[in-house]
Structure formats: structure tokens, C-alpha cells
């Protein structure tokens, strides 16, 4: 009954502006990158950086044994061994806390203790997912840059927009710093030069600025063993490691992971270069060629604007034409198509238009299993076992530790509700999967994901 229908004498007794006695859930990101990571425990007492070894395979044998050499103990066979490659996993500690005053919370309007625990949980999940995302894109965007300042004369040093991915080259199965003895072949303009040194600018002026933090470009200079010509060292020209991960862009503006396939940079994208089903198909084909995986569904992480552009693509429309009764058409969401699991996320990297790009850039990424490795420190579980029940409650949930500490202040009123995680993420290489093993594979170091760049 409306208050206006109450007698005038009784209206003052009706409470107005009453604060509802509960908290409502706040907005939060749609996450999912962590799901693509293989989890590996990091043992106690092994240091902060762990070196992991991944074995390769041996090339198939297609030449028959010679009967005349089938003698002695070795039967004419020369033993061979498989190749190995190593990657490092650095672990760090992350965490946060909320204090709860048990006295003042009793006069609150809702159960603040439970709400604190929920907010901590959401923060922990989003934090780990963003750390995983940054490691993934840090590897698969690396080695793809452009000339920042035109050379005045041929020189061995060149200013580039982003030096990520140029500092290390594979040597005997290990990623070691580039040097004169361990050069990295890099395409600059139309020719390949050997990069032997990388220096970061004291003040970062990279135009590769990505919202969300953690994966933006780092400007600097590359040093080569020979002079770069002025024609190659002209501002805006491609600077790409011949071992960099491929990047798919619409309308042929792609980088394919080799010196002969780099045609443009992200700066070449215009507002007409929208995401198409064809770009997704190209990424799937490239990923299957590089990994040999044809019986698994790859995860495609994309934001909702990228998904919206797909709905407007003609090939996509033709696929669902007249199927207004399908689940996809009813909910406006594609679950699985063309061997991909479509996973919408609000954590997809977005680069606003700036002096480096004429159109904003969105970056979906297609991932195969094992694109990331998550290392979880075994000491977290031990900490939960040893500490729980003393003066706190310690629990491990999905490899994240929740700690509720009993009041230890003078009045024994303040409870600390905290979480922490000790671990790290890394994107391991698959450089041993050469064309001797997988004939369709490219020479890129990183083979288990493909980034798609398109205009916003």
C-alpha cells in the first residue's frame, strides 16, 4: 500500500530512505585465461626460479637399412637421441587482505565477514587470471615491432617501438641472451639482419599501450652485427624476429612467423579491418599445422565487441542463416564452432587509437592445450597444514591460500581476512617441433597459440 494512502497522522511513523539489509554483488571481469595452463608443482627448497626440461621427438626414418651393413653388434644402425629444450619458471608471492572489526561489524547492515571472504575470492581469481593473460600475450606478441625513428644514415643500432621478444635466442635447447655468438635473425623492412643486443629506453615511449596493464610495449634500441640501410630503417617498417609467433590480421596484413611472411604491422590496421570468420579459420589452420593437434577443440578468448563483429561477417551469417531457433541465435552467443570453444572475456587486451595506430586494436587469442604452464609452490599447502588451528584458519582453495587470523590486537576485536598465492606462469617454447617432426610446422619458437589483431 502506498504511503500516500496512509492517514496524515500516521505517515511520520513510516521509515523512508531505509538502507537495504544486504550487500549486492559488484561487477566483475569475465575471466578464463588461467584455464588453458598446465599446472605443475614447484617443490620446496629449489629456489625462486626453476628450470624445466621438455623433450622433443626424433625425426621419422624413411630410408631402408642397407643389407650389406647389417652386420656386427650394431646391425649397421647409428644410435640417435631426441632433442630437448628448457624453459624457466619464476615464482613470486601475491596477496591482499581486509581487516574486520568484530564489534563494529555487529552493528552493520549485513554479514560483512562473509562478504569480505567473497570479495577476496573474486580478487584472487581475477588477479591470477590477469597474471596468466600477461604471460601468454607477453610471449605471443613478442618479436613483432616496427621502426620508431628513421635512420639518418646506415647504422647498427635502430630505435623500435617494442623490444619484447628480441632479447633471447635459442641455443642448445635454452633461451639465452642475444650476443655476437648467439644472434637472432630479424627482418627489418625488406632484409634480414642479425640482432646481437637489446637496450631498453630510460623513458618508455612505446605506442603499444594496452588497457588493463602488464602487457604494454617497451620501447628501446636493437643492435645488429651489420649496418641497417636507411630504406629498411624507415619509420613504420616491419621489425620482426624470424622466430616470432604469427599474428593474424584481416585483409592480408599479417605476420606469419618468418622473414618471407611479414607484410605489415598493427599500425596498418584501419577501421575496415574487422574480425572475420576467415581470420579465425586461418588461426585454426595455423595452430593445427604447428601442433599436429586435430582432435581437440582450441580455446578462443575474445571480448564481446570482437564477437559482435563476427555476427556481422557474411560467412558467419551464411552459416546461421534461417536458424533463428538455434541456441546460438536465441542467446546471441556461439559456444563451439570450427573446432573452437568461444570464450567471451572482458580481460582481452585492447589498444586504444593513438599516434601509433589509426584504429583501436582488439586481440582475440586462440590457444592449444599447454600454451601456458602454471607453477604452484608446494610450500603453500605445507603452510596451510602447519598453521591452521594455531591462531588462524588456513585453507587452500584451487591452489590459492585463504588465511583468517584471530584477533591479536589489544582489544581482541580485529580479524584479518587475507589470501595469497606463490607461483608463476610461463609460456614454454616448442622449438624442437621442427619440420623434421611436423612437416607443416613453422620455425616459430612459440607454437601453441595464435593472436588475431583487428580493428576495434
φ, ψ at 324 (rounded to 5°): -65, -15
Distances 283 to 231, 304, 307 between C-alpha atoms, Å: 32, 19, 16
Residues 6+ apart with CB under 8 A from 314: none
Residue spans per domain, the chain: 29-57+84-141+245-456, 145-241
Q: Cα separation of 189 and 237, whole Å?
A: 5
Tell me the CATH number of domain 29-57+84-141+245-456, given options 3.90.1690, 3.40.50, 1.10.10, 1.20.930.
3.90.1690
Residues of the chain with pLDDT under 70: 1-29, 44-48, 54-56, 82, 84, 104-110, 213, 255-263, 321-334, 355-356, 381-390
Q: Cα separation of 142 and 184, whole Å?
A: 13
Residues 6+ apart with CB under 8 A from 21: 109, 110
Q: Is 318 helix (H, G, I), strand (E, B) or coil?
A: helix
User: Dihedral, CA atoms, 128, 134, 140, 142, nearest 10 degrees?
Assistant: -150
How confident is the model at residue 74, as a pLDDT? 72
How confident is the model at residue 115, as a pLDDT? 82
Residues 6+ apart with CB under 8 A from 68: none
How confident is the model at residue 403, as a pLDDT? 86
For the segment 128-182, what is each residue's pLDDT rounded down to a tens digit?
999 999 999 999 999 999 999 999 999 999 999 999 999 999 888 788 899 999 9
Q: Is 266 helix (H, G, I), strand (E, B) or coil?
A: helix
Q: Cα separation of 375 and 193, whole Å?
A: 36
Q: What is the DSSP string of 33-78?
A: GGGGEEEEEE-TTS-SEEEEEEE--PPPP-SPPPGGG--TTTTTPP
Task: Give the DSSP H or E segment for 99.
Answer: strand 92-101
pTM comes to 0.83
> What count of residues does the chain have?
456
How confident is the model at residue 331, as a pLDDT? 60
CA angle 348/354/357 to nearest 5° reads: 75
DSSP 25: P
How confident is the model at residue 269, as a pLDDT? 85
Amino acid at each position: 500500500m502506498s504511503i500516500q494512502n496512509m492517514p496524515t497522522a500516521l505517515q511520520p511513523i513510516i521509515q523512508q530512505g531505509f538502507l537495504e539489509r544486504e550487500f549486492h554483488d559488484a561487477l566483475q571481469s569475465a575471466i578464463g585465461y588461467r584455464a588453458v595452463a598446465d599446472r605443475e608443482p614447484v617443490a620446496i627448497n629449489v629456489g625462486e626460479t626453476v628450470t624445466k626440461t621438455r623433450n622433443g621427438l626424433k625425426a621419422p626414418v624413411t630410408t631402408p637399412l642397407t643389407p650389406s651393413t647389417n652386420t656386427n653388434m650394431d646391425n649397421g644402425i647409428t644410435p640417435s637421441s631426441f632433442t630437448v629444450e628448457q624453459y624457466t619458471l619464476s615464482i613470486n608471492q601475491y596477496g591482499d587482505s581486509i581487516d574486520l572489526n568484530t564489534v563494529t561489524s555487529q552493528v552493520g547492515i549485513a554479514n560483512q565477514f562473509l562478504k569480505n571472504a567473497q570479495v577476496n575470492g573474486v580478487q584472487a581469481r581475477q588477479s591470477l587470471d590477469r597474471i596468466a593473460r600477461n604471460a601468454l600475450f607477453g610471449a605471443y606478441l613478442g618479436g613483432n615491432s616496427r621502426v620508431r625513428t628513421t635512420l639518418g644514415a646506415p647504422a647498427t643500432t635502430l630505435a623500435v617501438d617494442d623490444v619484447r621478444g628480441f632479447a633471447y635466442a635459442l641455443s642448445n635447447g635454452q633461451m639465452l641472451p642475444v650476443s655476437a655468438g648467439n644472434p637472432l635473425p630479424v627482418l627489418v623492412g625488406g632484409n634480414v639482419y642479425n640482432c646481437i643486443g637489446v637496450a631498453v629506453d630510460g623513458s618508455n615511449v612505446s605506442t603499444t599501450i594496452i588497457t588493463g596493464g602488464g602487457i604494454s610495449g617497451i620501447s628501446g634500441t636493437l643492435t645488429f652485427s651489420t649496418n641497417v640501410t636507411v630504406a629498411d630503417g624507415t619509420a613504420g617498417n616491419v621489425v620482426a624476429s624470424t622466430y616470432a609467433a604469427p599474428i593474424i590480421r584481416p585483409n592480408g596484413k599479417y605476420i606469419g612467423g618468418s622473414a618471407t611472411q611479414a607484410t605489415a604491422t598493427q599500425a596498418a590496421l584501419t577501421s575496415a579491418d574487422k574480425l572475420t570468420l576467415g581470420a579465425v579459420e586461418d588461426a585454426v589452420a595455423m595452430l593445427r599445422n604447428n601442433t599436429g593437434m586435430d582432435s581437440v577443440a582450441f580455446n578462443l578468448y575474445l571480448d564481446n565487441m570482437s564477437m559482435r563483429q563476427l555476427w556481422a561477417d557474411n560467412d558467419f551469417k551464411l552459416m546461421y542463416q534461417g536458424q533463428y531457433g538455434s541456441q546460438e541465435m536465441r542467446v546471441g552467443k556461439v559456444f563451439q564452432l570450427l573446432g573452437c570453444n568461444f570464450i567471451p572475456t572482458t580481460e582481452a587486451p585492447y589498444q586504444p587509437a593513438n599516434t601509433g595506430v589509426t584504429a583501436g586494436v582488439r586481440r582475440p587469442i586462440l590457444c592449444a592445450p599447454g600454451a601456458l604452464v602454471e607453477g604452484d609452490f608446494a610450500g603453500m599447502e605445507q603452510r596451510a597444514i602447519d598453521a591452521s588451528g594455531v591462531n588462524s584458519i588456513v585453507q587452500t582453495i584451487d591452489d590459492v591460500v585463504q588465511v583468517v587470523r584471530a584477533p591479536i590486537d589489544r582489544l581482541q576485536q580485529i580479524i584479518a581476512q587475507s589470501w595469497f598465492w606463490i607461483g608463476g606462469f610461463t609460456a614454454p617454447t616448442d622449438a624442437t617441433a621442427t619440420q623434421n617432426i611436423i612437416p607443416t610446422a613453422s620455425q616459430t619458437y612459440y607454437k601453441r597459440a595464435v593472436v588475431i589483431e583487428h580493428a576495434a
